[in-house]
Each structure stands twice: as structure tokens, then as C-alpha cells.
Structure 1
Amino acid sequence: MAEKIFLSKNNRQKSGSIVPRSILWPFILLTSCFAWWGLANNMTDTLLAAFKRIMSMSDFQTSWIQIAFYGSYFCLALPAAIFITRFTYKAGVLLGLGLFIGGALLFYPASKSMNYFHFLAALFILAGGLSILKTSANPYVIAMGPEESGTRRLNLAQSFNPVGSVIGIFLSKYFILSHLHSATPEERAAMSPEMLRQIQSQELAAVMGPYVAVAFVLIIIWILIAVNKNMPRASDAGSPLHLRGSLVRLFRRRHYVWGVIAQFFYVGAQIGVWSFTIRYVMKELQLNEAAASTYYLASLILFGVARFICTALMKFITPENLLAGLGLLAMGLTLIVIFAGGY
């Protein structure tokens, strides 16, 4: 599908600058979104450990948090792509932020109803907003300035994603996990219904707090983006959408098909590992949720550092050989985690 990008005359500048001065403020606003969805992704990972404690759930029951979250990604990714072909990238960003805000605010009534499925519904809406936001923001960053520097501009914006992830873990560690009652499932089962409900109410209020606070910050960002007249008018509008034909052509490419399969398993492994890192550390090292989240934070920092290291290594090792080597290393480390345990 041929992509057509429409930019205002003010943004057709020389290719020497990654971010032209005329769109610096719009670029900052848009780049902040990369940090916010990193925050939401990784703060949500910690909810599995939180709800296991609060509602005395099994690990399988808490995994519905990720099913709701990433199920929404799956459901809304293609509709988001269709939306931005009919409207503008800016409209997609505003729609995505709007759903993000709406889902986060729904944590408040969910905390009052104390119903797990109400939280899942809020997460589904929130993640749907993230799916639309990602689909719109990535090409928007490229289209904001000179075509020649588009890739570097996108890499710069994406570098703020792990910053948001780290902030999300800090928020969860100090405002959610550290406010969980230490009572075990057995001790909670022995409590009177009134006492248990009081404890759960306080814990769910702690879960709700960071999400609602983030929502109010995002409302300000939404308004700033909506009223900004210097945001480039960039879109795929006017490009013919032949979804079936595009998919047929793509799936005829053997490397593309295997790439999708590899990416599917990679994302599944990443979600699985980070979803249960806190639970694993708690079990192996006998720590509480707040202390175990430090190890999760360390894994995110190592993940970010490894990205830079691997980028440098690709100067000396071909990407496919580096990928194969890291894949074998990951398999070996996984076996160690399964059978060795502890440190």
C-alpha cells in the first residue's frame, strides 16, 4: 500500500535537523506519549502480584490481567490502522489518549465495586487506547519532519519508552505494592467478612491511585495536543486500503511469515517473564511484593542496557547470527531459572 504523507509548508525543512525547531514543542508532546505507554505497560505487569495478594487468587486467575490487556491490543490494532487512513495521525493520537484516560479513570469505580472483572474491563479500554496510540504515534513521529531523518527521529522518541517503564515500576513499588497488607491467603480466609473487606478496600484504593493520577496528567497532555496549531497535519488519508490484498502479498513472503511467528513467541515469552518476575522472586527469595519489584526494575534496566550493547555488536556480528546466539543464550538461561532456582 503506497503511503502518502501530507505536511504543512512550515515543516518542509532541510534534512540536517532531526527535529526542526518549528515542531520542537509538538515533538516533545508526542514523544511524552512514548513514555506514558511504557509506564502503563510495566505498571500493569505488577498488578498480577498485587491482585494475587488482595483477592487470594491463583497465578492463572491473575493472568487474566494480561489477557485483557494484550487481547485489547490484538482487537484494536487493525481498526486503529484503518482509522488513521481515513483521518489524521493527530486524530489517532487523541483517540488513543482518550481511551487511555477513560480506562485509567475507570479504576476509581472499579475500586469502589471491588470487582475483579471491572478492573479487567478498565484495563481492556486502557490498553485499547495504547494500541491506537502506538499505531498513530510511530508514523506520526516519522512524518513530523524531514523524511531523511525520520528513522533517527523515531529512535529518539522510542528511547523515552524505557524511561516511562522505570517510572511505572517506581510508582507501583511505592504507591501500590508497599501498601498491600501482609496477611496471607490463609489469614485472610480466617478474617471476618467486614475486616477482610476493609483491608481489600484500602488495597484497591492504592491500586487505583496511580492510574487516576496518570489520567489527570494525560488530560492536560490531550488538551495541549488538541489545541496546538503547530502539530503537522500528517496522515495516510487518500491512500487506498486493500487489506485483503496486502495480507495475501505479505504472507507469500516466507521470511515475513517466519518473522511473524518468531515475533509471536518472543512477545509471548517477554510478557510471560515480566508478568511473573515478581511472583518468582517472592517464591524463591521469600520477599514481599515491594521488595521483589526491585528485581523486576533491575531486569528492565538490564533490558535497556542490552539494547544499546546489541546495537553496537551489530557492527561486528550480522543481525541473524546475533539473534540466533541470543536465542540460544535465552534458552539456556531459562533452563537455569527453571531448574536451579534462587540466586
Structure 2
Amino acid sequence: MTTATKKESLLRTGNIWPFILITSLFFLWGLANNMTDTLLAAFKRIMSMSDFQTSWIQMAFYGAYFCLALPAAIMIKKYTYKTGILVGLGLFILGSLLFYPASITMAYGHFLIALYVLAGGLSILETAANPYIVAMGPEETGTRRLNLAQSFNPIGSIMGVLLSKIFILSELNLSSAEERATMDQEQLKAIQSEELTAVMGPYVGVAVFLMVIWLAVKFTNMPKASDAGGKLDLLPTFRRLVKTPHYVWAVVAQFFYVGAQIGIWSYTIRYVMQEVQLNEDGASSYYMAALILFMVSRFIFTALMRYVSPRILLLLSAVAAAVCTLIVIYGSGFLGVYALIAISGFMSLMFPTIYGMGIRGLGDDTKIGGSGLIMAILGGAVITSAQGYVSDVTQDISQAFYVPFVCFVVVAIYAAVSGKLERNSINRTGGEAEALPSGTYQKVG
């Protein structure tokens, strides 16, 4: 790392409060994401569903990310990042409140609609907040700044699992699917009503808190970086983006990474229940341990990026995660459980690092390009469903972890070739070479 790079400031003067406020959004969508992950285990028991059926929760959730990311990018390109944040928070609030009528109708589809609306809000928030954080300081420290902001995401994740553990999973009736099948409809409906009311409570409570955040954002003067609109030319923008190798492959890597992350976390409780014979409430403690490790590791990796290339860290982490996944598949008992927890430590730097590497040097195309990296979150829906299907077919949740193993291999390959992809991008753009010197790109963050 050069002396000049070391002296680059992390934030521009006057951006501290906006940075804190926007970073709080990373906490909030982490909370929502991981409360949702626990719903797979909850609905499996409440409605006696298969793993594939419960994966529709993630299909609704991350399907919304895919559908709303590009409209969000167009909106913030035409207006401002602040507009996107306010609209995103508004949908987040609405989706959370929709859990109340869903708990009354007791229809699985109504919960999926609520989750779709909620996740649509999160998609808009992420599309706006990620590039906004990158724009708050020098480009050379953009990846490190994004990793710092993203470090608060797992804190929200831990809080989400804690809320779910206390208010949802601990309230589940422990009757098995076989026992529920023998109950009369009135008795079963009474049990399910209590359980679904427990599901609804934390989401409505979060909505009240979100209203306070919405007001804080509304009355905050955002830095000029958030107001850099510009002419909207979608077709030329898409053409430039698809001809930018390092961006295209970052989108591919992000799709597989997010699929791996959501698959790992969605079925952590199921795996722990199988391997050490615990119920949902007890197994969620191991899930929380994984998130704590994820949080601590993200701060550690953020610090390491001052001295080690993000590309190298990404490669080492992807390989280590793949090895741990093999232990999950072939190991058993606590060995498999501890390996599963360890994967979260290695995953911690992947999303923001891939994102930061992908959007670097995109210039006026950053907002639309950023939406592509958010749309790649669709991997959380597609790959989690594939993992659920494998689990149902094999009747062994451990075999389903072959799916995230393949995903980590893809991320490792991307990290290994990212230097060459960056040079190809420079060669294609010509004039961008000064803004994207090879040495600097590999040293930033």
C-alpha cells in the first residue's frame, strides 16, 4: 500500500452524521433479513411444510429484491438517494404492518405478500444506501468504508435472531407434524393462531421504530453526493455495463455468494436440530453464534483491508468457506455444527467486497450498476429453493449443503481472476485507466 493511499481519509468533512444515519439502515435490513431466515423453521412446524415449501419465504423475499432493484436505481438516478431511502423505508414499514392482517387470516400466501412488500422496501434501501456510502469519501477508501458500514449489518442480524428466538421460536407449540395431523381442525387452528400471532408481533413492533428513522431521514440535509442525478439513458448504460468485465463477473459472483449465504443461514437451525437433537428455540442459539462470528469477522476483515488486497482476502475466505462446507456435509454432530458456524466468519467480507470491486470506476453508471449487484440477491431465492429441494429429495439436510459448496467455488474463481478482469475493463474503457490503476485497485479498502 502506498503512503498516499494510507493518508486518504475515510469520510469527507461534514458527512459523519449522514454516515451514521445511513449506516443505521444496514442494521435494520440485517434485522429484517435474519428474522425472516428463522421463519423457515417456524412455518415448517406451524403448517407442517416441506423444506421446499418453506423456501417460498425466501423466494418471495429475495424475488422482491430482484424486481425492485432496477426501478429503485431509476428512481434515485432521476431524483436522489434520499428519495430512494424514504420510499424504501415506507415500503419496509408497510410490509411489516401487513403481518397483522396476515396473522388474522392465517393464510401462508398473505405472509408471503407481506414479506414481498417488506423486501421490496429493503431492495430500494440497499440500492440507495450502498453506493451512497461509497460516495461519502474518497474513491480509494470506498471498499473499506462500505465494509465498515456493512459491519453493522450483522449486529442487526443478531438482534433479528434474538427477537425471533424470544418472541417467535420460543412460542411454538412442540407438537410434531404427525401429532398435528391427528388433531381436530378447531384445536389445530387455535394452536396455529397463537403461533402466527407470535410471528406477527416483532414485525409490527419494528414498524413503529422504523417510523422514527423515516422522520430522521426526512429532516436531514443529505450531502451533495446523494443528489448527483444526471441524464437517464438506460440502454447506453446497459451496453457499457455488459462490456465491463469486472462488473459483469461481480454480478455473477454476487448471485452465487448471496445464494450461499441465505442457504447457509436458512437451514442452520434445521441442520443443528438434525445433528444435535434440539428444538427450534435451542438450535437458534447456534444460529446466533454464527451471526456473532459474522459480525466480529467483518470488523476484523475491514481492518485487514488496510494492509491486504480485498481480492486476496476474498479468495482465501471463499476457499476456507468451501472447505468448512465439506466438513458440514461429511462431518456429523458438533463437528459439523462448528464447521457450519465457522462458515459465517469467512462469509463476512464477501458481499461488500464484491460490491465495492464491482462498482469501482463505473462513474455515472454507478447507480444503475449498483442495482445489478442488488438484483443479484435473487440468488438468495433461487439457490435456497434448490437447497430445500435437495433436502427433500435426499431426506438429509446435510446433503443439501453441496449447493452452497458450489457457490463458494464460483466466488473463489471470481476472486482468482478479478485482477485480470480489472485490467480488461481498463483496456476497454481506455480513458478510465487513470481512475482505475491496477495497483491502486488491488490495494484499496
TM bracket, shorter-chain basis:
0.7 to 0.9
CA contact (8 A) 1:68 1:121 kept: yes
Long gaps (5+) in structure 1: 1-14
SS in 2 for 1:46: helix
- Map 1:149-228; keep pairs closer than 5 Å: 154-228=146-220
Shift of the alpha carbon at 1:233?
5.5
Contact 1:85–1:235, Cα closer than 8 Å, also in 2: no
Do the aligned partners of 1:84 and 1:237 also contact (CA within 8 Å) in 2? no
Contact 2:151 2:299 in 1 (8 A): no
Query: 1:113 is matched by which residue type in structure 2?
Result: T
With structure 1 as the length reference, what TM-score do the two structures score?
0.87
Distance apart, 1:313 and its partner CA:
5.1
Aligned to 1:299: 290
CA shift, 1:219, in A, is: 1.1
CA shift at 1:310, angstroms? Answer: 3.8
CA contact (8 A) 1:49 1:278 kept: yes
- 1:162-212 CA-partner distances (Å, limit 9, x unpaired): 211111111011111001001001111111111110110000000000000
Work out which of the residue numbers 34, 51, 63 in structure 2 matches 1:59.
51
Match of residue 9 from structure 1: none
How many Å apart are 1:18 and its aligned residue? Answer: 3.4
Match of 2:314 in 1: 323
Contact kept, 8 Å, 1:85 with 1:238, in 2: the verdict is yes
Give the structure 1 partner of residue 40 of structure 2. 48
Mapping of residues 1-343 of structure 1, within 5 Å = 18=11, 20=13, 24-143=16-135, 154-228=146-220, 230-232=221-223, 234-235=225-226, 238-311=229-302, 318-343=309-334
The one-letter code sitting in structure 2 at the alignment partner of 1:247 is: F
Residue type at the aligned position of 1:103: G
**For 2:190 and 2:30, how far apart are their aligned partners in 1?**
32
Q: CA RMSD in A?
A: 2.5
Q: Residues 234-290 of structure 1: CA distance to partner in whole angstroms, max 9, x if unpaired?
A: 545541222222222232233433332222211111111111101111111111111
Whole-angstrom CA distance in 2 between matches of 1:321 and 1:312: 14
Provide closer, same or farther for how the CA distance between residues 19 and 282 of structure 1 changes in structure 2, counting only shifts above 3 A. farther
What displacement does 1:320 show? 4.0
CA distance in 2, matches of 1:130, 1:316: 33
Query: Residues of 1 paired with 2:140 and 2:319: CA distance?
Result: 36
Asked whether the 8 Å contact 1:89–1:137 carries over to 2, the reply is yes
Structure 1 position 49, deviation (Å): 0.3
Structure 2 letter corresponding to 1:169:
V
Residue identity matched to 2:239: V
Structure 1 residue 127 displacement after superposition:
0.4
Structure 2 unmatched runs, 5+:
1-7, 335-445
Percent identity, aligned pairs only? 65
Tell me the CA shift for residue 303 of structure 1: 1.9
SS in 1 for 2:267: helix
1:145 to 1:269, Cα distance in 2 relative to 1, 3 A? closer
- The farther-off stretch of 129-138 and 255-264 is 255-264
User: Structure 2 length as normaliser, TM-score?
Assistant: 0.68
Q: How many residues align?
A: 327
